[in-house]
């Protein structure tokens, strides 16, 4: 195993980037075991929390490109997790609704993501996990405003 130069290994930006690779892998593996992808989770979670939404709204809420939203919604609809209907007030717009089967899938994906968090943060005590999560939230909020 090659060593990382100390001047790099001690930088938070380097550590966050390297950890993000592991976080993504763990979440992706957990979702794959449940027959899903991260985009599926984003869409299902947004529908559960905010209710019926247009595909454009889902894209904004989930920070997803329009074509990725369309693909994810199509895949979810084919499996019965969401229903897509034409908006009666604007025939160009599709409205997406979470189904009961979709809620069940979302619960599976919640468990998979919880396990990924456990695997990622395993070495940290509960209080350290809370502190890390809070600090990451502060940083993200700051940079989203910039």
Q: What is the mean pLDDT of residues 60-81?
A: 96
Q: For 19, how many CA atoms within 13 A lie in the half-sphere containing its CB? A: 15
Residue 4 covered by a domain? no
Residue 2 covered by a domain? no
CATH code, domain carrying 52? 1.10.10.10
- The residue range of the domain holding 29 is 14-145
**9 vs 46, residue with greater confidence:** 46
Domains contained in the chain, number: 1
CA angle 134, 138, 144 (to 5 degrees): 140
The three-class DSSP label of residue 124 is: coil
Q: With cut-offs at 50, 70 and 90, classify the pLDDT of residue 1.
A: low
Residue 9 covered by a domain? no
- pLDDT > 70 in the chain, percent: 99
Residue 6 covered by a domain? no
Q: Write out the H or E segment, with its range, that includes residue 94.
A: strand 90-98
Residues near 132 by beta carbon (within 8 Å), at least 6 away in sequence: 121, 124
Residue 28 covered by a domain? yes
Give residue 106's pLDDT: 98
Residue 120 covered by a domain? yes
Strands 82-87 and 53-54: unpaired
Q: What is the mean pLDDT of residues 6-28?
A: 94
């Amino acid at each position: 195993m090659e060593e990382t130069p100390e001047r790099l290994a001690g930088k938070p930006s380097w550590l966050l980037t390297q950890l993000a690779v592991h976080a993504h892998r763990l979440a992706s593996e957990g979702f794959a075991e449940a027959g899903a992808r991260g985009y599926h989770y984003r869409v299902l979670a947004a529908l559960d929390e905010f209710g019926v939404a247009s595909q454009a709204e889902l894209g904004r809420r989930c920070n997803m490109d329009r074509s990725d939203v369309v693909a994810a919604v199509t895949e979810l609809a084919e499996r019965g997790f969401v229903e897509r209907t034409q908006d009666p007030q604007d025939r160009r717009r599709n409205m997406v609704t979470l189904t009961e089967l979709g809620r069940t899938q979302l619960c599976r994906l919640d468990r998979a993501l919880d396990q990924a968090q456990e695997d990622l943060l395993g070495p940290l005590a509960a209080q350290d996990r809370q502190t890390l999560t809070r600090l990451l939230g502060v940083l993200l909020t700051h940079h989203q405003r910039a």
